Structure 1
Amino acid sequence: MEGKKVEQFYMPPPKLGKWEGFRVFLWNSETGQFLGRTGASWAKILLFYVIFYAVLSGFFGAMLAVFYQTLDPNAPKWQLDNSLIGSNPGLGFRPMPPESNVESTLIWYKASDEGNYLHWTRELDRFLEEYEKPASGTNNFEQRVHCEYKKPAPPGKVCDVDMSEWGQCTKARKYGFHKSAPCIFLKLNKIFGWMPQFYNDTKNLPSTMPADLQEHIKQEEGNGRLDTVWVSCEGENPADVENMGAIQYIPRRGFPGFYFPFRNTPGYLSPLVAVFFEKPKYGVLINIECKAWAHNIIHDRFERRGSVHFELMVD
């Protein structure tokens, strides 16, 4: 009958099993959909994300290029007092305790047991590798030159650290650990551009400086070696002073001025001072504090500025 509306009813889709539903989701032959989308839909999405990530990568690359234009690869942008490190260098010691006890500053070993002190000598071996003369011209060895107090390194060169001057504190002698007379190495932390202000006036040495160091500086005055960052090591308490015994500073009692300032020159070696403990008392914990001395080095025991603390115990 014309004009009569034909009633239509909604028919729910047929119920499919799990496997059948998954198969239809992967490829629906009736609609031509793959994973729920047609080929045209997938092409549009793919084109969108290609453009989106291309623009994002381009923007990131451009910002990175602008950022690198503000940096000098050979020098930090913020230096000395403007940097987080500041202009007051700290003092470090080697060998360090095992990583499992990284917060410890205790050097404790049994001299009669090689397996017991092996960790400490191996740590020093690894630390001193870069100071050794390489066999094949590696480690920028060609950059190293012999320096003296009136003869610093020329531009582009670095001062060598002569390991032959370390006496008892060498790898061949196991750094004295096997004889209960260990060598502890001290190094001044590197700060780019920092130049020490030396104690060139022996009449105005600080009253807090140990008396034996003051006498040593006065003796060095005639040798032209005052341009040195001096080092002193003492027991922190009267009992520690007695138990520590006599010590020697090898090869000299400080860091020569010709190693400064640090300019990030390839092959640069930090100067070292080996503290040779001749006969520390056995079986006793000895608290030791070492300090570096220059006019512009401030000492703060609480924050360990300009100094370092460690404990030594030899069984």
Structure 2
Amino acid sequence: MVISTKEKILTALMAHPDEWLSGDQLAQQVGISRESVWKAINSLRKRGHQIASRKNRGYQYAGSQQLDELAIKVTAGTGFDGVIQVTDQTTSTQDLAKQFLSQHAQPQLAAFIANQQTAGYGRLGRSFYSPGQTGLYFSLVLPNPSNDLSRVGLLTTGVVVSVVKVLQRFFPTQDFGMKWVNDIFLNDYKVGGIITEASMELESTSASAFIVGVGLNLTTATFPRGLTAIAQGIDPQARVDRNRLAAALLSELVAAYQRYPTTAFLPFYRDKSVVLGRAVTLQVGQRTVNGTAVAIDDQGGLVLKLSNGQQQSFTSGAVTRVRRA
């Protein structure tokens, strides 16, 4: 694969974020002329990259406020070798991923990232508020060579754990929780959600690929009236490099998927659960189930103690209400 001059320059700058690199250093490192360095710097600036320049010192990378597939690719390095597509606005990144799969007979690793979604959605078709500049919304296509669906419950729970572990690195003072099966909570407010959909093979019940959608309200300060009581941004005052966060998430998710199916993450998931020991209402299709959440089983299922004293495990559905037992 041919690496462009812009990519080489950006790689060099991002590898030394707090240092000044002279035009001569960059030219020598990349193997181009100083004029080519200057042209590449200007091109990167037009893409939204903040690159300071100072006489007798050179250039220093200061990040980017815009999502940029080149920056994500450079930061992820060998951690993510799939297709990366970034768009400013789309209905849902899940739609982009499904369109991509429909155009490729053989599923391949790919990520679709948007600055804003106009029709983002989660489980049960519920909308996910996805304003521009303050969140991160992406869908990840994960090929499923085995076509097996029997342990898919471990996939969504594993994805949630991976996302939370990355968020803890970027927001080390925040104490995140997880609401079964796919919501990320902070201080009793939802700050993120995950949806896992399968690309089904025709005339079979097997899945050729999974489409994992992740929505995060990072610095979102205002929400529509109907959401203000249940949702918030992680930290509206924070400065978050979304390109670095996206790269870290993609790398972590790919690494975790290579271990799928595994139960190694379940102790962390249980420890961070906001439903265990609580009375919950679970919506399973058209059926509503009330009970006390007593366990997360080894398939990622939610075990409820029902009013008759019996325990039942659920591998699908959505918790719509949590209250003290």
Q: Do both proteins adopt the same fold according to a TM-score greater than 0.5, normalized to the shorter chain?
A: no
Structure ranking higher on relative contact order (CA contacts 8 Å, 6+ apart)? 1
Pick the structure with more strand per residue: 2
TM-score, length-scaled by structure 2: 0.26
Based on CA coordinates, which of the two structures has the bigger radius of gyration? Answer: 1
TM-score, length-scaled by structure 1: 0.27
